Structure 1
């Protein structure tokens, strides 16, 4: 199965991209090859006329056992008539002091020991130098050559370290080179043969990493962002704050490339195709506050997740009846389900108590349907009183008698329909309530 996140691939890519962090990634490589016992790496210093450099401790070239990699030691060799340039295990790739030699996987699997042999070039004055030429084309089509890319010369046995600066064109980039069939990756070096050579670019795609919020509601801002990424490298996925959605946390990215879900900010390998990452949302947990609005009466707090229902509580207040709980433009009755809608980032959720003053029976006037303002008659003013109550029940409250008078449409509760019925009566459209 194709994967964006692979330990082995991650190590190889990291080694290619950032040799300066090699110490940090060795443990990852060793872990991936844990099933292998490693091999013995030997430095061949036995050639005729070969001596250790004057400041070289010979023990630095002692064999290394059970190894999957080695850092080339600082020491040097000498040989009359030659320059010492480093080491090779295959006569093609060269490794100089401080470079990391990784034992190839096929050698580890075969459990073969590795012998690193010295690389020499002539120090004679009449040494012949050959051309190293960069040929910049894109799959056979010439492209403009960067000014900083300079050809150079090497003699047989010298180390060729190509310029690894990235070349970018349209939706492709080049990093690394080919010398015929020899692939030279980032920070790799080859041994100069006894003839001119041409280096051609290794091209990789620049692909789109698309981050999509999904077909969801309550989204704040854009639902899609796209970024160009370089194939065969690594990148960090977008953080959890890339999208904002009321009532939800972004907890992952679902990849359409491999079907895996990755954590926000995870480091992944970049394939050679566009990839869409769809946000994975998790409901937030809120502490919903039911505010009494009265000193001495505690607020009620109930926890719940976005889009789940909680019951509106009942609280008591001397001389008043709890009519309900107001949230935005709706009042919820005691015991009614309140579905937690989710709030904008950084905000909470609260409901305000709606109180109706209780009037002693001895003070109760005779019920007059439609008389919401208790002035003893029914007029357009009663419709206004109802509409004000609906808009702001805290400021324009109705007591128990007024609430009973105002409810005239045959349905429980005081709503805009009650105000409309009174308007019909005032206009003569109907004759009674």
Structure 2
């Protein structure tokens, strides 16, 4: 009596052959040699072709075209001589799916805020053998992307050659932190390929921004608004940032108006700044961007002024009165300056001039008396109004003179002659 058995791994990847070793046993004792074997016959519902050494019990079953499934195979052995043929041996060969791999293309997994998450992944056969490295296409609909977050709007785009682009909108990550993990899995539609998955860890960072100014030092007269331009730029995309809020410290900001492509016109109120140099911190902030700041130095100078008299020379007869005006003007704002402190330096010992404000200028009344000494006098007017205004100066020359006179004489009127005059020759 004899028996047959099979030794070997009966699970084989699709596209590969299956190697088995036949074991024959003499149930009555003894050893069955290969020379006692007339034939080995393998039969199945699938075509079976067998390769083996004529002097051995090891066989390669040609299963490279068998489908992925479990397939029954029957082995029949015919022995010669004193041996009975063993009962047919039934065994099962399992053809499994090819092992696959899913991996991401080399990329920087650091994304800028507001940008969508995008990654390219490769789906290939990793099974050692004739299909190793084969790209697997046509499986875009078989991907599943999951996370601890609820993801919406995810798209899978086939790129060919086993590559797929996965895009997840930024809105899924906005306000959720900076570090994220997603799981990408693919279950192929064909059972020739096994499933594969990959875990991706990535980060979001604020967009790198840059803030510059057209002027870093600006000089302005006291109480005049200062206008500068700030340029807020997205360095990652080399475009202007148009959604910024401008702030100032100290808070002297009047307005920060976006003009175009990250150019902001900034108007600052210098009315609270004293004469001198002041460092102003200007900051630009926008959602999704690093806030940036620059220091602008404002040098506040005195208001430029000019004292302009209506005349620089007055000729006044002794005892008379003359009126003239002086306009003290804010040259930076083209405005008359009121409430000035006016000091007059002079060598005049007579009645002090009377000064009144007319609404646009100063009116000076200069009065003399008959007892004032005749001569030429200088009046030096000094206009001041605190440290914020430059002093204004002007000089008036006044001549006190005697009155011009005209000497006239009156003759008696002619007397009429009423008589006869005899003329003789």
Structures share fold, TM-score greater than 0.5: no
- Bigger share in strand: 2
Q: TM-score of the superposition, structure 1-length normalised?
A: 0.27
User: What TM-score, normalized by structure 2, do the two folds share?
Assistant: 0.28
Structure of higher CA gyration radius? 2
